[in-house]
Structure 1
């Protein structure tokens, strides 16, 4: 029987392997992050995050690195594996997630559900289950959604502002324990220094984003990109005039939202209304 090959010791996890390969290639060239930034043309902080596994970067950046290192297709293949199965997300949303991982600050408005970045496992599972997802895909979808939370839990998280419609806090889960856990999580993240959480009460009345969940991403190159979605489709918005219009509506709505401290108290009051589960 032929001798079994020795394992290389390299990471078997796609995201870790991608970051590891980036570090290896730069080290072999004897380059600093600043040197690489000068050669390839992107900011050194982006390469630092990519090599640290905190972001995957965009396909454009990865293709540029492939050309520079003379590894045609290698890094892009590893990047695609790290991103995941292409069928897992609609293309528009996959592109949005890439931009989200690179953003220096984010603003969200949630119409009826907590944004994915703030969802607990219990909430994600029940919410995804009602979308007619096949049982064998559910665990994968939940894991993918929870993986996004790492963005806010990294050593250098982006600034994150979120406005929750009161409807988000009134639409409870069927699983009382999971709903309590979700509210507790919202109250906890509201105290983090990089997160500003506000509640828009029903008493605020009509506003320009009543039926539209929207996210704004401030990117490293100074651009702001928006992403709006409903239950059927999502749309990435990059044209300046359209982004500006959405921002004006967001800012006008924010003026009617509760202040952060009042918002956290509101969530805690909602938490008091959740019935306690019977002891077993």
Structure 2
């Protein structure tokens, strides 16, 4: 029988377990990081960050490594465990928030929910409450989320582009008054000179970001990073190759979106269709 490999104490953490296995397989193969990168067609610095536990990369990287090493599904399963780890998610999100605060430009795609930067108080409250947050914690999180809107205010505000799937604007809140308030807020924000808002109609069909919301940040040093979100997890992506692939998908999708003027008209139509608040 093959000798059982010793599991180190840090291997109990999903992030480090993944990093340890990625590094072990490469060292066992006798390849350097650059040699492995050349064979896979990935940036060597991205692979280095995986081995050091600085990044989890994308599922595509895990799959490519599985195919290369002949370990079908092993690394992808470890990646899924690591990305779902609550500690990992919180660390990445904190880092993302710091980067967002210093970004010189942002561009975004929403699949089903408006980004925090565009949420009204009522919208933020209902979204967070739907996620099971209650009481004092709910009030605190609503305050924190709507406070992010300040990023788009002032003369030094970063340029911001958002593409909203039509589904976002066809999913109203339970509170009719809060929904109208949200639509009015969107129309007001769309008129700001540094903001570009577009709507991606459902008729555009399938595209490269189906099911994935993404925010790109252009940083003061010229780098671009991305933060992707699905219904259950988020991932901060900093590898140049991975960010570039997401950008290509975003650019292709943007070509299918309505123009800013058509998009503002679309929001106006949703406002006309929105039920009036019975309390007014």
TM bin (shorter chain): 0.5 to 0.7
Q: Displacement of 1:279 after TM fit?
A: 5.0
TM-score, normalised with respect to structure 1:
0.67
Confirm or deny that 1:141 pairs with 2:130. Answer: no
1:137-216 aligned at under 5 Å gives the runs 137-216=137-216
Q: Distance in 2 between matches of 1:231 and 1:206?
A: 18
Runs of 4+ that moved beyond 4 A: none
Q: Distance in 2 between matches of 1:91 and 1:132?
A: 21
Q: Which residue of structure 1 lines up, in the alignment, with residue 94 of structure 2?
A: 94
Q: Displacement of 1:181 after TM fit?
A: 0.3
Q: Displacement of 1:136 after TM fit?
A: 2.1
Q: Which residue of structure 2 lines up, in the alignment, with residue 270 of structure 1?
A: 270
1:1-280 aligned at under 5 Å gives the runs 90-279=90-279
Q: Which residue of structure 1 lines up, in the alignment, with residue 74 of structure 2?
A: none
Secondary structure of 1:90 counterpart: helix
Secondary structure of 1:245 counterpart: helix
Q: Distance in 1 between matches of 2:160 and 2:111?
A: 17
The answer for unaligned runs of 5 or more in structure 1 is: 1-86
Ranked by relative contact order (alpha carbons within 8 Å, sequence separation 6 or more), the top structure is 2
The answer for unaligned runs of 5 or more in structure 2 is: 1-86
Q: Distance in 1 between matches of 2:278 and 2:253?
A: 40
Describe the superposition over 1:33-77 as per-residue Cα deviations: whole angstroms up to 9, x where unpaired. Answer: xxxxxxxxxxxxxxxxxxxxxxxxxxxxxxxxxxxxxxxxxxxxx
Q: Distance in 1 between matches of 2:231 and 2:140?
A: 20
Q: Distance in 2 between matches of 1:250 and 1:192?
A: 22
Q: Distance in 1 between matches of 2:217 and 2:223?
A: 8
